[in-house]
Amino acid sequence: MIEIANENHVIMVDDNDGDVFLVEQCFLDSKLDNPWKSFQNGGDFLRYLEDVRRGSAPMPALVLLDLNMPGLDGLDVLERTRRNPEFAELPVFCMLTSSWDPRDKARAEALGASGFVTKSDNPRDYVAFFDSLQ
Amino acid sequence: MTASAEVLLVACPSAYARALPPDAHAVEIPDWREPPERVAEPELVIVGPLEPKPTHAAQQLASRHPGCGLLLVTEPGRVPEISAQLALTPFVPLGTRVVAEPQVEEAVREVLLRARLQRSHARLTDRARDALDAPTPADGGRGGPVSGREPRADVGSDALLELHHSYKTRELLFSSVFESSQDAIYSATMQGTITSWNRAAERLYGYSAGEAIGCHIGLLLPEEQRDAQNRLMASLAEGETTGTLEGIHRTRGGGHVEVSATVSLIRDGRGSPSGTCTIARDLGPRLREARAKTAMLDGALDAIVAMDHRGNVVEYNQAAEEIFGFSAQEALGRSVADLIVPPELREAHRTALARYLETREASILGRRLELTAVRRGGERFPVEASIVRLAGTEPPLFTAFLRDTTELEKARRQLERTIEDLEHSNQDLEQFAYVASHDLQEPLRMVVSYMELFHREYGASLDERGEQFLRHAVDGSRRMKALVDDLLAYSRIESRGTPFEWCSSGRILEGVLHDLALLVEETGARITCAPDLPCIRADASQIEHVFQNLVTNAIKFRGERPPHISIGALRTNGAWEFVVEDDGIGFDESEAGRMFQMFQRLHERSRFEGSGIGLTFAKRIVERHGGRIWAESKPGEGTRFHFTIPVAAGDPPGGDDPEGSDDPEDGDDPEGGRS
């Protein structure tokens, strides 16, 4: 059972601002009280990770990574993240749409995904997820 | 002289009877066709001038009375003519004379004498012969008792005997050939008067011998033939010995017959032509056969071309004319290679033929070939052909049957293109369904999630009406989501379907019932599964969907009482047929078609949940497996759903249970280590 790593940011990487806002609301409703951060694309997130490496930003507590993004997609981001040994243990949960392809899931696992969250239309599911990390 | 001689007078005036020698006993008959009741062997037969067909009469009488003398009496002017005819008439003995009335008496004596002489000598030699063959008497055979004469001593009687013998033999030989021949044989004088006529001629032309003999040969020839006949006669006169004419002859009553007539010249003892002998063969049967064969060849749709060992065309049917554009006249005799084989293949054709003639082997004979041929003008086109060597022909003859497959090729290519197009179209549709449903999911999810969120955050401040509005909105979007999900899954049946494997339908059903346990309990449904559900080659998870859909439907569309559902399978031709039967509300079978269409519903929405895609889903899955699905029902009397899965070749591994069992009596030791 994965637990939240520290008290730093919970980060969501997703190009869909509707999803980001929704999950943020659910996060705020949940028992976790970490700060929240979000990035609209993989490139921005990876640049943030550079800052973390240099020490100018704190190590994130949890990353929610949408797999289905234009440009640099979730799997690319995951791969590059895991290239750095520093981020080997970083909890990265890949977000799957309800029409997920088993092949994508398999690849994500192979690249080191810590777990999966299926995008739900029921906010309760997200709240329950965050609660379970405590 | 012996006892009184019998003389038969045929068609003679009564005066002749008085001209006979006193010891002659005359029997008069007006017509040889009506013989008298009893005539001992006559020594002499006289055919008188009252007989219209003297030579024919002579022939008949001679054969009736072999060994008799024969005399014909006719008008003085006709003596040479009748003599000539007689010379060509069979059976008529040597020495038969034709005379005019004044010479009757004299001729009678002469002929009688000769006849008697012949007869007595014959009797003498017979007796002499018998004596030769008989056991010798006590005196050693010298001066034997019979006649006192040594049989060999008399040269004259021997010569006569020889002559008699050889004549008889020849006569027998000739008569058997003449009468038994299947071909018509008839002879005529140089002027064309028919003098003999065999049985076959009677059959061929329809005239009896009695009718034909004495008539002119022109009777048998239509106008068109006469010139040819005359030319033939002229050439015979100039020294040719025979000639053959093929043509139409006339028969009795205006009929026609196709004959091949061989005419030969007959010469008399001095070598001058005395008449002709014609052998006529009915070509009818042979021609009919040839015509039938041509009709058969010409009726064929395929070109039939026969080739001889030199490579030339010897047969060429009508279809060949149409297909290749050369008429039979143009094609016959020409080289097959030059005519219909494309230029670059001619060498190969000739080589193959040469090799066959040497080795009697050719791989192309007797099997289906796809070749290219050329027509008149050089146009190349595809043909389907088969070439055989005609059995029994030496040197060999070959027949080729050729079919112009230009249209067939076009159709085939068209079909391939259409299939390609359809495949593309199918892919496009699948892709469309996938993309549509996939891209619809996300906005839907937004709608639903935010409405939920809204409800969470602001639900408290809504009044009852507000609550209702929200609930309907959420409900609608939920249903839409279900539809889109179903559509997506439907579009993936092929593309996300896994390859077929052996699976136990019994186990799959167990799994489904396990999943539906709650529903079963709630509704009190009683479900019976047949114990012998088969192993099938299928996509297990897809079959699971089908069972789930059908069982759920059976439970859903129940009547007032708790439903009874039974599931079984039976083997039909080449497939397993599964049946899911319930005793629920049933439906009108005439609506069955709609049932499998997407999103159609047969019952009101409010009573029964579900998006309505279930059966369409099941249908597509079953069809992916190569089976069929259908339903039988009557309103109020339950429903039977059937679906088939083809039986696969081979046996499932491990007998009836391909997934193995936990039975420790199995070969493998489940604790590890093999036994």
What is this model's ipTM? Answer: 0.77
What pLDDT was estimated at residue B592?
77
Q: By the 8 A CB rule, do B624 and B497 touch?
A: yes
> A 11-70 residues with CB below 8 A of B?
16, 18-19, 22, 25-26, 29
Q: For B392, left (φ over 0), alpha (ψ -120 to 50), or beta?
A: left
Backbone angles phi, psi at B260, to 5 degrees: -115, 115
CA distance B449 to chain A (A): 4
A47-86: string of b/e by CB count within 10 Å (b at 16+)? ebbeebeeeeeebbbbbbbbbbbeebbbbbbbebbeeeee
In chain B, the residue whose alpha carbon lies closest to the alpha carbon of A19 is: B446
Neighbours of B215 (CB within 10 A): 16
Suggest the residue from A21, A99, A101, A103 to mutate for an interface test with chain B (most B CBs closer than 10 A). A99
Kindly tell me if the per-residue pLDDT of A97 is higher than 70: yes
Please tell me the distance in Å from B649's CA to the nearest CA on chain A. Answer: 31
Please list every residue in chain A whose beta carbon sits closer than 8 Å to the beta carbon of residue B449: 22, 120-123
A 111-130 → B contacts, CB under 8 A? 119-124
* Residue of A16, A97, A121 with shortest CB distance to B448: A121
Pick from B438, B449, B450: which is nearest to A99 by CB? Answer: B438
Task: Give which of B585, B617, B621 is closest to B602, Cα–Cα.
Answer: B585
* pLDDT mean over B2-18: 76
Interval B546-576: pLDDT, tens: 999 999 989 988 888 899 999 999 999 889 9
Residues of chain A contacting B441 with CB distance shorter than 8 Å: 97-99
- Average pLDDT estimate for A10-20: 92
Residue B151 has pLDDT above 80, yes or no: no
DSSP state for residue B134 in the 8-state scheme:
S
Q: What is the mean pLDDT of chain A?
A: 90
Return the amino acid letter for B654: G
Residues of B with CB under 8 A from a CB of A: 437-438, 441-442, 444-446, 448-450, 452-453, 456-457, 481, 485, 488
pLDDT of residue B139: 41
Whether A132 and chain B come into contact, CB under 8 Å, resolves to no
Q: Do A121 and B438 count as a contact with CB atoms less than 8 A apart?
A: no
Cβ-defined contact of A18 to B444 (cutoff 8 Å): no
Position A10 pLDDT exceeds 90 = yes
**Residues whose CB falls within 8 Å of the CB of residue B383, separated by 6 or more in sequence, listed in order:** B370, B371, B372, B373, B402, B403, B404, B405
Average pLDDT over residues A35-49: 95
Chain A residue numbers touching B457 (CB-CB < 8 A): 25
Cα B551 to Cα A26: distance, rounded to the nearest angstrom: 39
Q: Which residue of B has its CA nearest to A98?
A: B441
Considering only the beta carbons, identify the residue of A25, A29, A119 that sits closest to B445: A119
Confidence class of residue B383 from pLDDT cuts 50, 70 and 90?
very high
- What is the DSSP code (8-state) at residue B649? S
- Interchain proximity B441–A97, CB inside 8 Å: yes
Confidence of residue A99 (pLDDT cuts 50, 70, 90): low
Cβ pair B445:A122 closer than 8 A: no
Is B452–A122 a contact, with Cβ atoms under 8 angstroms apart? yes
Residue B217, token pair as written in the block:
């040969």
What's the whole-number mean pLDDT along residues B112-132?
Answer: 68
Mind listing the pLDDT tens digit for each residue in B593-632? 777 876 655 554 444 455 556 788 899 899 999 999 999 9
For the record, the structure tokens of B60 come out as 């008949």
Could you give the count of Cα atoms lying within 13 Å of A123 in the half-sphere of its Cβ? 24
Q: What is the pTM of this model?
A: 0.43
Cα nearest neighbour of A96 on chain B:
B442
> Nearest CA of chain B to the CA of A56: how many Å?
36
